[in-house]
A and B are shown apart, each in its own frame.
Chain A
Amino acid sequence: MKRKSVGEEGRFQILGNIIMILLSLAAVIPLILLLISSFTDDSALVRNGYSFFPQQWSAYAYQYIFTSGNSLTRAYLMSFVLTAIGVVVGLAITTLLAYGLSKKFLPGRGVITFLVVFTMLFNGGLVPTYMNYVNVFHVKDTFFGLLLPGLLMNAFNVMMMKSYFVSGVPDEILEAAYIDGANEYQTFLKIAFPLAKPIVATIALFIGIGYWNDWMNGYVYLSKATHLYTIQNLLNRMMQNIQFLQQNSSTISGANTGLASIPAVSVRMAMAVCGILPIVVIYPFIQNNFVKGITLGGVKG
Chain B
Amino acid sequence: MRKVLAMMLALVLALSVLAGCTNGGNSGNKPADNQTTEAAQEGDQSAAEKAIADRKASGNMPTVTICFGNFAGKPAGVDRIGAAMSKITEEKLGIKVELTIDSIGALSQQMNLDLASGNAPDLFNGLLGGFMSSVNAGYLYDLEEDGLIDTYGAGIKECFKEIELNGCRVNGTLYGVPVKKDDAAGMFGISIPAEYLDTIGYDYASKYANEGDEIIYTDLDEIEGILTQLKEAYPDKTTFFMDATSVMSQCLEIDNIGNDYFGALCDPCNSLEVTNPFEDEKYYELCRRMYHWNHDLGFFSMDAATTDVATTVQVKSGSLCAYKTATKPGIKQQESNLCGMPVIIFQCGPDFKKASTYGTMPWVMNHATEDPIASMQVLNELYTNPELMTLMCWGEEGKEWKLAEDGQHITFADGVDAQNSEYYNNTNWELPNQFIAKIWEGDELTLWDRMQKFNDEARTSKAMGFTWDNSDVSNEYSALTNVYEEYRKQLELGFVDPDVVIPEMVERLKQAGLEKYMQAKADALKAWADAQ
- Name B103's contact: one of A130, A132, A238, A251 (CB within 8 Å): A238
Identify which of residues 209-250 in chain B touch chain A, using a CB-to-CB cut-off of 8 Å: 243, 245-246, 248-249
Whether A88 sits at the interface, judged by CB under 8 Å, is: no
Complex CA distance for A253 and B182, rounded to whole angstroms: 8
Task: Report Cα–Cα, A5/B109, bound state, in Å.
Answer: 61
Residue A260 lies at the interface, judged by CB distance under 8 Å to chain B:
yes
- Contact count band on A: 35 or more
Most buried by B among A220, A224, A252, A264: A252
Overall SS of chain A's interface: helix
Cβ contacts B71-103/A at 8 Å (1 or 0 each): 111101000000000000000000000001011
A218 — nearest CB in chain B belongs to which residue?
A: B106
Q: A226-B74, A250-B259 are in contact. Are A135 and B117 (CB under 8 A)?
A: yes
CB distance from A230 to the nearest CB of B (A): 14
Given A69-B76, A240-B103, A244-B104, A110-B4 contact (CB < 8 Å): yes
CB pair A134–B106 under 8 Å, yes or no, is no
Q: How far is the CA of A261 from the CA of B7 in the complex (A)?
A: 55
Contacts A219-B106, A250-B246 given; indicate if A241 touches B117 (C-beta within 8 A): no
Q: Is B116 part of the binding interface, using a Cβ–Cβ cutoff of 8 Å?
A: yes
**Contacts of B29 on A, CB cut-off 8 Å?**
none
Q: Does A197 contact B (CB under 8 A)?
A: no
B311 contacts the other chain (CB 8 A) = yes
Q: Is A27 located at the chain interface by the 8 A CB criterion?
A: no
Cβ of A257 and Cβ of B26 under 8 Å apart?
A: no
- Whether the Cβ atoms of B310 and A259 lie closer than 8 Å is yes
Contacts of A134 in B (CB 8 A): 113, 117, 119
- B334 and A257 contacting across the interface, CB-CB below 8 Å: yes
A250 touches B427 (CB 8 A): no
Residue B402 is within 8 A (CB to CB) of chain A in the complex: no
A219 touches which one: B22, B109, B118 (CB < 8 A)? B109
Interface mask (B368-389 → A, CB under 8 Å = 1, otherwise 0): 0000000000000000000000
- Of the stretches A79-87, A92-100, A111-119, A175-183, the one at the interface is A111-119
Taking a contact as CB atoms under 8 Å apart, the answer to whether B116 and A127 are in contact is yes
List residues 247-292 of chain A with CB under 8 A from any CB of chain B. Answer: 248-262, 264-265
Stretch at the interface among B270-278, B312-320, B439-447: B312-320
Interface residue B105 (Cβ < 8 Å from any Cβ of A): yes
Query: B246 near A226 (CB under 8 angstroms)?
Result: no
A46 in contact with B23 given A130-B113, A254-B427 (CB within 8 Å): no
Residues on B with C-beta less than 8 A from A262 are 71
A253-B326 contact given A115-B8, A258-B71, CB 8 Å threshold: yes
Chain A neighbourhood of B113, CB < 8 A: 126-127, 130-131, 134, 220
Closest beta carbon of chain B to A235's beta carbon, Å: 11
Please measure, in the bound complex, the distance between the C-alpha atom of A224 and the C-alpha atom of B106, giving whole angstroms.
Answer: 12
Per a CB cutoff under 8 Å, which of A45, A224, A258 touches B427?
A: A258
With a cutoff of 8 Å between Cβ atoms, the chain A residues found around residue B192 in the complex are: none
Residues B119 and A140 in contact, CB atoms below 8 Å apart: yes
Contact check, B245 vs A261: say whether CB atoms are below 8 A apart: no
- Given the contacts A115-B11, A260-B338, A262-B71, A240 and B105 also touching, CB distance less than 8 Å: yes
Q: Which residues of A contact B430 (CB under 8 A)?
A: 252, 254
User: Is A214 interfacial (CB-CB < 8 Å)?
Assistant: no
By a CB distance below 8 angstroms, the chain B residues around A250 are: 245-246, 248-249, 259
Residue numbers in B under 8 Å from A257 (CB-CB): 334, 338, 426, 429
Q: Which of A46, A69, A127, A130 touches B72 (beta carbons < 8 Å)?
A: A69
Of A135, A241, A244, A251, the contact of B259 (CB 8 Å cutoff): A251
In the complex, the answer to whether A264 meets B182 with C-beta atoms within 8 Å is no
Q: Chain A residues with Cβ under 8 A from B356's Cβ?
A: 251
Contact B319 A47 (CB under 8 A): yes
- List, in ascending order, chain B residues with CB within 8 A of A111's CB: 3-4, 7
A130 to B116, CA, bound (A): 9
Closest residue of A by beta carbon distance from B328: A253
Query: A237 contacts the other chain (Cβ, under 8 Å)?
Result: yes
The docked-state distance in angstroms from the alpha carbon of A249 to that of B117 is: 28
Q: Which residues of A contact B116 (CB under 8 A)?
A: 127, 130-131
Interface-centre pick from A115, A128, A140, A244 (highest chain B CB count, 10 A) = A244
Tell yes or no: A67 within 8 A of B by CB. Answer: yes
**Interface status of A13 (Cβ within 8 A of chain B):** no
Partner of B127, one of A43, A136, A248: A248
Taking CB as reference atom, which chain B residue is nearest A226?
Answer: B74
Decide: A246 near B119, CB < 8 A? Known: A47-B319, A115-B11, A220-B109. no
Would you call B169 an interface residue if the criterion is a C-beta within 8 Å of the partner chain's C-beta atoms? no
B117–A260 CB distance below 8 A = no
Task: Pick from B4, B8, B105, B318: contact of A244, CB below 8 A.
Answer: B105
Judge whether B489 is part of the interface by a CB distance below 8 angstroms.
no
For the complex, is A295 an interface residue (Cβ under 8 Å from B)? no
Would you list which residues of chain A between 119 and 166 have a CB under 8 Å from chain B? 126-128, 130-132, 134-136, 140
Asked if A17 CB lies within 8 Å of chain B CBs, one says no
Q: Is there a chain B Cβ closer than 8 Å to A243's Cβ?
A: yes
A118 CA / B112 CA spacing, docked (Å): 27
User: Could you tell me if B419 and A67 are in contact, using CB atoms closer than 8 angstroms?
Assistant: yes
CB distance from A248 to the nearest CB of B (A): 7
Q: Could you tell me the distance in whole angstroms from the C-beta of B479 to the nearest C-beta in chain A?
A: 19
| Cβ contacts under 8 Å, B119 to chain A | 134-135, 140
Answer whether residue B361 sits at the interface, using C-beta atoms and an 8 A cutoff. Answer: yes
Q: A51 near B: Cβ within 8 Å?
A: no
Query: For the complex, is A242 an interface residue (Cβ under 8 Å from B)?
Result: yes
Q: Say if the beta carbon of B472 comes within 8 Å of chain A.
A: no
A242 and B117 contacting across the interface, CB-CB below 8 Å: no
Cα(A70)–Cα(B103), bound, Å: 13
How near does chain B come to A108, taking the closest CB pair, in angstroms? 9
Query: Shortest CB–CB separation between residue A155 and chain B, in angstroms?
Result: 14
A118 in contact with B8 given A134-B117, A260-B313 (CB within 8 Å) = yes
A223 close to B309 (CB less than 8 A): no
Cβ of A68 within 8 Å of any chain B Cβ, yes or no, is yes
How far apart sit A245 and B430, CA to CA, in the bound complex (Å)?
13
Set of chain B residues within 8 Å of A241, measured between Cβ atoms: 71, 103-105
B521 contacts across to A, CB distance below 8 A: none
CB pair B117–A264 under 8 Å, yes or no, is no
Q: Sorted from nearest, which 7 A-B pairs have the closest CB atoms?
A: A240-B105, A43-B317, A46-B317, A259-B310, A244-B105, A254-B429, A47-B319
26 A–B contacts from the bound complex (CB under 8 Å) = A43-B316, A69-B72, A69-B73, A70-B73, A114-B8, A127-B116, A130-B117, A131-B116, A135-B23, A135-B117, A220-B109, A223-B102, A224-B74, A241-B105, A244-B104, A251-B249, A251-B361, A252-B429, A253-B185, A253-B326, A256-B312, A257-B338, A257-B426, A259-B310, A260-B310, A264-B313
Spell out B's residues near A (CB within 8 Å).
3-4, 7-8, 11, 19, 22-23, 26, 71-74, 76, 100, 102-110, 112-113, 116-119, 127, 181-182, 185, 243, 245-246, 248-249, 259, 308-314, 316-319, 325-326, 328, 334, 338, 356, 360-361, 419-420, 426-427, 429-430
Known contacts A258-B71, A260-B312, A264-B313; 4 additional CB pairs below 8 A are A42-B317, A134-B113, A239-B105, A256-B243
